[in-house]
């Protein structure tokens, strides 16, 4: 939470845990030269996706690779534990790699390979994996294949950067690679060495296990959500970590005492009678984040529609009429919408391509104001974002890095009634669809009576508003039409039967 409102929400359930950061011994089941990618069986329901640039090769430039990893670490170290390439870096690396090395020269079907999950399954896609293994600790990230030391760009004081780099260079084993995380700012040699030893021992155990087991096999699961939050989110700028479960509280306290004792007084047990989510207003924020329409304080609103790979956000003035002129009203609404949009992107964890349809502004200076406000607001977002200038139509195209499913797809499921469409055919449309179906079936109906089973709401419309249309249809077909209301029918469901033999259509 930040400033009294929910800034980000991470959800993990015992039977629906995430996979990011987990390490597996997988088996390559298919290599696709045309896509420069492969599918790898790591023991999950869906095969994981491995792109050519995600395959470690000994001739990889360690300086360039570590530079990419440091940048990625800046984006994610305070957000989540993974240190995989960002999407932009992936694209750049893919374009460079495409003309240099072919995936069929690196791996083959049936080969066993050590991989780490970089992205959870999203939608219909399986996990995205990488063979660039990284093990995050509290202060360091261990890169077992890279002989290099990098420092998080968020540590900006040059003297501190030099001090930390010198310490790590001094205590690391030859051939090992490390990134110093942002939270290591001010940390002494003893703590860095303890973190380093822990990570290298973990890697040694992983290699030993990998040599003994056959693929597919899980080798290492990252910490659960509670401990990841303590490790990655609990930094010096966090006032308090509040836990509402006694056992979890004790476990986290032990973890904090071991790895970051100076923060142990910042951990509190919530013992209120009401739910912790109700006490801090989180439940209200969640419900608001699951809605399609979000109201702005001025009376305007935004509409958020999420598709498979694209999210569309529409800004409207709504009830806001302004005080001066139309252009000022539009500008104020757009500026207010900017803050809410960025907040909703983080809270809902929306990623991929995002199109924002701001209200059209005639003046270029106003477009610049809105763009600059959006750019400034996105600096608070730890996820990697890229934005383009506002077009003449008031549209902004942007991308936001996506590692896990959005909040809506995590907490919701497609409507069983509309099958996820978000709409149903109107009752009038269904009535006339039934009339056309009756005409199609007349040649197959031998008896004098046509029986039709429908939903109760459709029945009411047929015998009331459409009574004259039915009478005309009966005259045209020279048959009697009888309707029957069935409560268990879907509103779009109907049956046309020959009453004599019960044949249904």
Closest CA to 236 of 173, 187, 283: 187
In angstroms, the CA 308 to CA 463 distance is 41
Closest CA to 492 of 424, 398, 432, 440: 424
3-state secondary structure of 303: strand
User: Does residue 308 contact residue 295 with C-beta atoms inside 8 Å?
Assistant: no
Of residues 340 and 16, more confidently modeled: 340
Residue 259 pLDDT class (50, 70, 90 cuts): confident
Please give the average per-residue pLDDT across 75-98, as a whole number.
Answer: 41
Please give the average per-residue pLDDT across 493-498, as a whole number.
Answer: 91
Please give the average per-residue pLDDT across 404-412, as a whole number.
Answer: 86
**In this structure, which topology does domain 23-223 adopt according to CATH?**
OB fold (Dihydrolipoamide Acetyltransferase, E2P) (2.40.50)
User: Does residue 396 contact residue 361 with C-beta atoms inside 8 Å?
Assistant: no
Of residues 277 and 78, more confidently modeled: 277
In angstroms, the CA 474 to CA 462 distance is 13
Instruction: Give yes or no for residue 302 having a pLDDT over 60.
Output: yes
Please give the average per-residue pLDDT across 360-380, as a whole number.
Answer: 91
pLDDT in tens, 126-137: 899 999 999 998
In angstroms, the CA 333 to CA 329 distance is 6
H, E, C per residue of 334-373: HHHHHHHHHHHHHHHCCCEEEEEECCCCCCHHHHHHHHHH
Please give the average per-residue pLDDT across 166-171, as a whole number.
Answer: 94
Which range (72-86, 95-109, 168-182, 307-321) has the least confidence?
72-86
User: Does residue 12 contact residue 224 with C-beta atoms inside 8 Å?
Assistant: yes
Residue ranges per structural domain of the chain = 1-17+224-289, 23-223, 290-411, 427-504
pTM for the full predicted model: 0.70
Instruction: Give yes or no for residue 78 having a pLDDT over 50.
Output: no
Instruction: Give yes or no for residue 47 having a pLDDT over 90.
Output: yes
Q: What CATH superfamily classification does 427-504 receive?
A: Ribonuclease E, catalytic domain (3.40.1260.20)
3-state secondary structure of 476: helix
pLDDT in tens, 450-489: 999 999 999 999 999 999 999 999 999 999 999 999 999 9
User: Does residue 44 contact residue 127 with C-beta atoms inside 8 Å?
Assistant: yes
User: In the prediction, which pLDDT does 177 show?
Assistant: 92
Please give the average per-residue pLDDT across 132-147, as a whole number.
Answer: 91
Residue 59 pLDDT class (50, 70, 90 cuts): low
23-223 against 427-504: fold identical = no
Q: Which of 43-57, 86-100, 213-227, 481-495 has the highest mean pLDDT?
A: 481-495
Instruction: Give yes or no for residue 208 having a pLDDT over 90.
Output: yes
Of residues 62 and 391, more confidently modeled: 391
Closest CA to 79 of 148, 136, 134: 136
Please give the average per-residue pLDDT across 349-356, as a whole number.
Answer: 93
Give me the sign of the Cα torsion angle 373, 378, 384, 385: negative
Q: How far is CA 104 from the centre of its chain?
A: 31
For helices 364-377 and 326-348, give the axis angle rounded to 10 degrees: 20
Q: Virtual CA dihedral for 152, 48, 202, 138, nearest 10 degrees?
A: 30
**Burial 253-262, CB ≥16 within 10 A → b, else e:** bebbeebbee
- Written as six digits, the tokens of 190 are 């003893």
Please give the average per-residue pLDDT across 310-314, as a whole number.
Answer: 95
User: Does residue 310 contact residue 345 with C-beta atoms inside 8 Å?
Assistant: no
Instruction: Give yes or no for residue 67 having a pLDDT over 90.
Output: no
- Written as six digits, the tokens of 400 are 């936001």
| DSSP 8-class letter at 173 | P
pLDDT averaged over every residue in the chain: 86
């Amino acid at each position: 939470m930040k400033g009294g409102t929910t800034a980000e929400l991470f959800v993990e359930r015992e039977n629906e845990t995430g996979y990011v950061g987990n390490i597996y011994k997988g088996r390559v089941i298919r290599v696709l030269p045309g896509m420069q990618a492969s599918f790898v069986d790591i023991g999950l329901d869906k095969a994981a996706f491995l792109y050519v640039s995600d395959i470690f090769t000994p001739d990889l430039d360690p300086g360039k690779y570590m530079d990419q990893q440091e940048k990625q670490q800046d984006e994610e170290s305070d957000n989540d534990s993974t240190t995989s390439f960002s999407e932009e870096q992936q694209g750049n690396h893919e374009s460079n790699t495409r003309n240099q090395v072919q995936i069929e020269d690196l791996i083959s079907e049936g080969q066993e390979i050590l991989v780490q999950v970089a992205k959870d399954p999203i939608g219909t896609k399986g996990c995205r994996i990488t063979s660039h293994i990284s093990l995050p600790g509290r202060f360091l990230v261990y890169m077992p294949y890279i002989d290099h030391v990098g420092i998080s760009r968020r540590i900006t004081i040059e003297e501190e950067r030099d001090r930390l780099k010198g310490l790590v260079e001094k205590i690391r084993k030859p051939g090992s690679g490390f990134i110093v995380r942002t939270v290591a700012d001010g940390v002494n040699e003893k703590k860095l060495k303890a973190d380093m030893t822990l990570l290298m021992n973990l890697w040694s155990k992983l290699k030993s296990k990998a040599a003994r087991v056959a693929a597919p096999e899980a080798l290492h699961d990252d910490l659960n959500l509670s401990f990841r939050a303590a490790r990655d989110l609990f930094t010096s700028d966090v006032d308090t970590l509040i836990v509402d479960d006694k056992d979890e509280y004790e476990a986290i306290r032990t973890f904090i005492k071991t790895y970051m004792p100076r923060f142990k007084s910042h951990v509190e047990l919530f013992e209120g009678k009401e739910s912790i989510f109700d006490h801090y207003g989180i439940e209200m924020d969640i419900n608001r984040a699951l809605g399609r329409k979000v109201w702005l304080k001025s009376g305007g609103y935004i509409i958020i529609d999420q598709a498979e790979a694209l999210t569309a956000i529409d800004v409207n003035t709504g009830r806001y009429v302004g005080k001066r002129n139309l252009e000022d009203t539009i500008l104020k609404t757009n500026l207010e919408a900017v803050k809410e949009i960025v907040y909703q992107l983080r809270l809902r964890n929306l990623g991929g391509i995002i199109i924002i349809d701001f209200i059209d502004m005639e003046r270029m200076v106003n477009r610049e104001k809105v763009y600059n406000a959006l750019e400034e607001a996105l600096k608070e977002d730890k996820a990697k974002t890229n934005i383009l200038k506002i077009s003449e139509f008031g549209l902004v195209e942007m991308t936001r890095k996506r590692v896990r499913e959005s909040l809506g797809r995590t907490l919701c499921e497609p409507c069983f009634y509309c099958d996820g469409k978000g709409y149903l055919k109107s009752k009038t449309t269904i009535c006339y669809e039934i009339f056309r179906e009756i005409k199609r079936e007349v040649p197959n109906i031998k008896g004098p009576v046509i029986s039709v089973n429908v939903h109760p709401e459709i029945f009411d419309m047929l015998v009331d508003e459409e009574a004259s249309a039915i009478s005309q249809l009966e005259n045209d077909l020279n048959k009697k039409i009888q309707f029957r209301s069935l409560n268990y029918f879907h509103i779009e469901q109907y049956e046309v039967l020959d009453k004599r033999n019960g044949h249904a259509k």
